[in-house]
C-alpha cells in the first residue's frame, strides 16, 4: 500500500498506520483524509490483520485539520470537509477490528478527534491534547463535541472546548481521555504488546465485543443488554468458541481460526 501522506507496516497480525506529513505536524488535509479512508478499507479487507495501530510520524500525532486549507472555505465547503472527516473517523470506530491510537505528540483538534475514534489510546509522555478550535473561531467539526463529552463527561468536555486549553498526557490520563502513558521510546513497542495481547484471543469474540460496546453506548441499557445477548449467542455458532473452551478444559493454549 503506497500513499503520499501515510506510511503503512504490517508485522504478523498487527498493522501500523502512520500519518506522515511531519512538516505540517501531520495536519489532516483533504488528501490525507482520503488516503486514511482508503487505508482503512484496505485494513478492513486484509484478513491477516487483527489489530490496527494508528500513530504519527515525527513530533506530532495530528495537529488538527489543515488550517491553511480551511481558511478561505465557504460554509458549504466546510460542511463537506467536516462530513468527510466524520465519515472516515466513524469508519474507524465501526470497523470490526480493534484500533489502538499510539499518540506520540500533538493530538489537537482533528487529531484529538482521530484518537477518540480509536478504541484504545496509548499516549507517550510527550503527547498533548486539546480541542483548540474556538481559538480559531470555529467549533470542533470531526465529532469532538460528541466523543469528548462521552469519554470524559460533558462538564470536562465543555471546559476543554470552551477554553481551548491544551493538556499534557498526565492530565489526559487523569480525566480518562487516554488508557495509559508510556515513554516516547517505548510507545510503539508497548502499543504492539497491547495489540498482541488482543491478537492472541478469539478474534470473532473480540470483534463482537467491540460491536456490543459501541452499539450499547449509543442506546439505552435494556437495548444494549439485548444486543449483548444476541452477540453472545452468535459466539456459540463459531468453531472458535468450541476451541476456546476445549483448550481450557484440556489445559492447553487455544488455536483460534477465526471461524
Which residues are catalytic, by number?
Answer: 113, 133
Give the β-pairing of 106-108 and 60-62.
parallel
Q: How far is the CB of 238 from ligand CO8 (least distance, A)?
A: 40
- 56/64 with CB nearer ligand CO8: 64
Closest approach of ligand CO8 to the CB of residue 143, in Å:
9
Q: How far is residue 6's CA from residue 57's CA, in Å, rounded to a whole number?
A: 9
What distance in Å separates the CA atoms of residue 59 and residue 26, rounded to the nearest whole number?
9
The distance in angstroms from the start CA to the end CA of the chain is 27
Which secondary structure element, helix H or strand E, spans residue 245, and what is its range? helix 239-249
What gap in Å lies between CA 162 and CA 50, rounded to an integer? 38
By CB under 6 A, tell whether 67 contacts ligand CO8.
Answer: yes
Nearest approach in angstroms of CB 235 to ligand CO8 is 38
CB atoms within 10 A of CB 62: 31
How many CA atoms are closer than 13 Å to the CA of 219, on its beta-carbon side?
14
Interacting residues with ligand CO8 between 115 and 144 (CB under 6 A): 132-133, 136, 140-142
Q: Using the 8-state DSSP alphabet, how is residue 131 labeled? A: -
Tell me the number of residues near ligand CO8 by CB under 6 A. Answer: 24
Question: 16 to each of 10, 137, 184, 239, how far by Cα in Å?
Answer: 6, 34, 16, 29
User: Which residue of 3, 10, 58, 78 would you call a contact of ligand CO8, by CB under 6 A?
Assistant: 78
Question: Which listed range, 6-14, 76-84, 187-195, 233-241, lies at the site for ligand CO8 (CB under 6 A)?
Answer: 76-84
Cα separation, 138 vs 170, whole angstroms: 27
Between 81 and 120, how does the x/- string for binding to ligand CO8 read (CB under 6 A)?
A: xx--x--------------------x-xxx----------
In whole angstroms, the minimum distance from the beta carbon of 125 to ligand CO8 comes to: 17
> Minimum CB separation from ligand CO8 for residue 186, in Å?
23
In the complex, the residues that contact ligand CO8 under the rule CB under 6 A are 24-25, 27, 63-68, 70, 78, 81-82, 85, 106, 108-110, 132-133, 136, 140-142
Amino acid at each position: 500500500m503506497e500513499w503520499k501522506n501515510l506510511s503503512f507496516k504490517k508485522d504478523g497480525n498487527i498493522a501500523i498506520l502512520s500519518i506522515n506529513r511531519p512538516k505540517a505536524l501531520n495536519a489532516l488535509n483533504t488528501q490525507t483524509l482520503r488516503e486514511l479512508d482508503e487505508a482503512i478499507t484496505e485494513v478492513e479487507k486484509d484478513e491477516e490483520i487483527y489489530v490496527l495501530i494508528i500513530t504519527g510520524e515525527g513530533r506530532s500525532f495530528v495537529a488538527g485539520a489543515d488550517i491553511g486549507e480551511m481558511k478561505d472555505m465557504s460554509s458549504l465547503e466546510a460542511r463537506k470537509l467536516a462530513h468527510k472527516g466524520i465519515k472516515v473517523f466513524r469508519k474507524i470506530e465501526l470497523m470490526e477490528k480493534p484500533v489502538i491510537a499510539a499518540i506520540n505528540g500533538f493530538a489537537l483538534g482533528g487529531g484529538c478527534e482521530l484518537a477518540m475514534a480509536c478504541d484504545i489510546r496509548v499516549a507517550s509522555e510527550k503527547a498533548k491534547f486539546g480541542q483548540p478550535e474556538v481559538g480559531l473561531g470555529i467549533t470542533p467539526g470531526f465529532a469532538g463535541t460528541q466523543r469528548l463529552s462521552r469519554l470524559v463527561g460533558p462538564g470536562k468536555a465543555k471546559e476543554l472546548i470552551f477554553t481551548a486549553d491544551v493538556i499534557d498526557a498526565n492530565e489526559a490520563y487523569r480525566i480518562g481521555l487516554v488508557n495509559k502513558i508510556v515513554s516516547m521510546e517505548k510507545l510503539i513497542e508497548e502499543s504492539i504488546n497491547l495489540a498482541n495481547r488482543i491478537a492472541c484471543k478469539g478474534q470473532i469474540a473480540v470483534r463482537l465485543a467491540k460491536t456490543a460496546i459501541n452499539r450499547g453506548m449509543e442506546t439505552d441499557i435494556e437495548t444494549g443488554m439485548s444486543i449483548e445477548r444476541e452477540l453472545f449467542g452468535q459466539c456459540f455458532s463459531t468453531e472458535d468458541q468450541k476451541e476456546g473452551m476445549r483448550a481450557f478444559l484440556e489445559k492447553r493454549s487455544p488455536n483460534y481460526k477465526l471461524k
